[in-house]
Amino acid sequence: MTDAGVARLAGWVGDGGVVVLSGAGISTESGIPDYRGPSGVARRATPMTYQEFTRDPVARRRYWARSHLGWRTVGDAAPNAGHRAVARLQELAAVGGIVTQNVDGLHQAGGARDVVELHGNLARVTCLGCGAGSSRSELEHRLTEANPGFAPAVSAVNPDGDVTLDDDALDGFVVVDCTACGGLLKPDVVYFGETVPPDRVSRAFGLVMAARTLLVLGSSLTVMSGRRFVLRAAKEGIRVAIVNQGVTRGTPYAGLVVDGPLGAVLPEIVRRVEGPVAA
């Protein structure tokens, strides 16, 4: 992280018209590991796909058992200095909308508004039968009651809110279904094999196209779900700035890249933007 890079970034942000695209890296300082950054963990199993979840009862039971344990990490996580800095930049009218690839809800918990959650939110649950929605806290209460004493040893928490757990530790775990229709319950997140709802994508592109600067925070941009917004911004002549620790596939399209911890960089950007505003 260079002072020159931070100073230039503060100038861009101070110009206003910034839309944020955030990834898992902004939440690592809240205790949620990311996928590929220096504080992340290697994914020890293939992420759950929608097809597997809906068609394989054993895989579904495995998912809910692991997610039941992992939810404690995500559900108890608190917004960090990076989240709070983004919210403050919104208050200063430097940042407009936020598009996040994260499912932890920490932007909103940190005070942000106008957040497009591309991949949903783990705090919500939906029924695949009747479409009824419910809270994750309600489901956790039901799972705890259905599985008293279920507390196997956990070797690692994964970025998407479940844990690494031996299959033999899952014996006897009971999955609960929708109280309204008995249908399958699913976290309100986009699994591999699912498509992000078109209205969500359209809203995100709308924000990007109206921006002066697209500011990418904590994303390696490895998957197209997030990288497409960078590609569109670059094509349309919209400035792209990236703050991330480690390699990012967006570098060829960015006019400015700052390699550093978001919990340090973003509060400094706030401090520099606040100065002219206060003056």
Write out the catalytic residue numbers: 119
Residue 58, C-beta contacts closer than 8 angstroms, at least 6 positions apart: none
DSSP letter at 132 equals: -
Q: Hey, which bits of 101-244 come out as E strands?
A: 115-117, 120-127, 133-135, 156-157, 163-164, 185-189, 213-217, 239-244
Supply φ then ψ for residue 134, to 5 degrees: -150, 175
User: What tokens were used for 248?
Assistant: 């990012």
Q: Tell me the C-alpha distance between 193 and 253, whole Å.
A: 27
Q: Are 82 and 218 in contact (CB under 8 A)?
A: yes
**176 backbone dihedrals φ, ψ, rounded to 5°:** -105, 155
Distance of CA 150 to the CA centre of its chain: 28
What kind and span of H or E run contains 98? strand 95-100
Contact of 204 with 226, CB cutoff 8 Å: no
Q: Under DSSP, is residue 18 helix (H, G, I), strand (E, B) or coil?
A: strand
Q: Give the number of other CB atoms < 10 A from CB of residue 19.
A: 26
What is the residue-wise DSSP string for 48-89?
Answer: PBHHHHHH-HHHHHHHHHHHHHHHHHHHT----HHHHHHHHH
